[in-house]
Amino acid sequence: MAKLKTTIVFDSGARIGPGKIALLESVRDTGSISATARSMGMDYKRAWTLLESINQAFDEAAVVAAPGGARGGGAQLTPFALELLERFRRIEQRAADLAAEDIAALAARARSEMGEKI
Amino acid sequence: MAKLKTTIVFDSGARIGPGKIALLESVRDTGSISATARSMGMDYKRAWTLLESINQAFDEAAVVAAPGGARGGGAQLTPFALELLERFRRIEQRAADLAAEDIAALAARARSEMGEKI
């Protein structure tokens, strides 16, 4: 089904959309940037760069190195990141709900595939 | 102020967001693809390609050549395009309203510029 994509665009130009939110949720669930990168089909450097861009967008860090432990190398979300996830998913869900009727009306007129004619 | 960007993503992969909507509104207001391209700071070919991609996304055309006239070469929106504009702007406005409080809370923690630290 057609769906609404929501992205928050901050004054700095920083953008938080479903891709970065999914990345944060994966870090929350796996505690690992490596595992997050694998699960999202991107290389470690790409995942790290995206997470660092989230950290740079705010005064508070979203992702930090997990404290010590034998294996080390882990990552975890800060309370601020958990708040960011909650607020984003709430916006996304509410927007999807309110847009459902308009989107369904447009989707009924949408082609199932692109490029059938030029 | 930080703001919410909304984009409709159809099953075909076609996307309708604020850029294409602004393009349609300019065609509506100017009756001209050339004038639209100028007002949006893009070349004619880019404007034409984007408008054609909107036409291809749906079973109904959104932009058509304006009927004859001495000068010709004009363009106008179909009733379907006007409906698309109305539905998109309604979704966008409602989503912005419902997201305002969450976005303000996040914007209060956002940096005003990116790249202050690495």
Residues B13, B102: contact at Cβ < 8 Å? no
pLDDT surpassing 70 at residue A1? yes
DSSP E strands in chain A: the ranges are 3-9, 15-16, 63-65, 75-77
* Other C-beta atoms lying within 10 Å of the C-beta of residue B35: 16
- For the ranges A26-40, A63-77, A92-106, B86-100, the lowest mean pLDDT is seen at A63-77
Which residues are CB-neighbours of A81 under 8 A, at least 6 positions away? A24, A28, A54, A61, A62, A63
The closest CB to that of A56, out of B16, B103, B115, belongs to B115
pLDDT surpassing 70 at residue B116? no
Beta strands at A15-16 and B3-9: parallel, antiparallel or unpaired: unpaired
- pLDDT score for A117: 46
Residues A11, B1: contact at Cβ < 8 Å? yes
For chain A, the average pLDDT equals 92
A15-48 pLDDT, tens digit each? 999 999 999 999 999 999 999 999 999 999 999 9
- pLDDT score for B105: 98
Residues B13, A115: contact at Cβ < 8 Å? no
Residues B40, A34: contact at Cβ < 8 Å? no
For chain B, the average pLDDT equals 92
pLDDT surpassing 90 at residue B66? no
Which residues are CB-neighbours of B53 under 8 A, at least 6 positions away? A114, B14, B20
pLDDT surpassing 90 at residue B67? no
Q: Nearest CA to CA, how far is A24 from chain B (Å)?
A: 16
Q: Two tokens at B64?
A: 């058509």
Backbone angles phi, psi at A105, to 5 degrees: -65, -40
Q: Nearest CA to CA, how far is B9 from chain A (Å)?
A: 5
| Complex ipTM | 0.90
- Tell me which of B37 and A65 has the higher pLDDT: B37
Contact residues, A window 72-101, toward B, CB-based 8 Å cutoff: 80, 83-84, 87-88, 90-91, 94-95, 98-99
Instruction: Tell me the chain A residues in contact with residue B116 when contact means C-beta distances shorter than 8 Å.
Output: 56
- pLDDT score for A68: 60
Kindly give the interhelix angle for B44-57 and B18-30, rounded to the nearest 10 degrees. Answer: 110
- pLDDT score for A65: 84
Minimum Cα–Cα distance from B86: chain A residue: A102
SS3 B67: coil
